Amino acid sequence: RLAGATLLVFANKQDVPSAMTAAEISQALDLDAMKESRHWSIAACSAWEGAGLLEGIHWLVEDISSRMFVRS
């Protein structure tokens, strides 16, 4: 039922020097394997500082709204 669903991964703790990069997270989750079956993105963020949260939500809204259709 979730085939084709949009996936947004928030890469939190980016204010910490040892935080994983988006590329490291992508590799760890093997996200490239699903690039044909769903739209996905990694949003680097820091919940503590509030950085990157709005950008991630904006991407999510834009991605979903670009694929919406209305049934009559």
Question: Has 27 been labeled as part of a binding site?
Answer: no
Residues 23-59: b if buried by 16+ CB within 10 A, e if exposed = eebbeeeebeeeeeeebbbbbbbbeeeeebeeebeeb
Question: Has 13 been labeled as part of a binding site?
Answer: yes
Annotated binding site: 12-15
Annotated binding site for GTP: 12-15
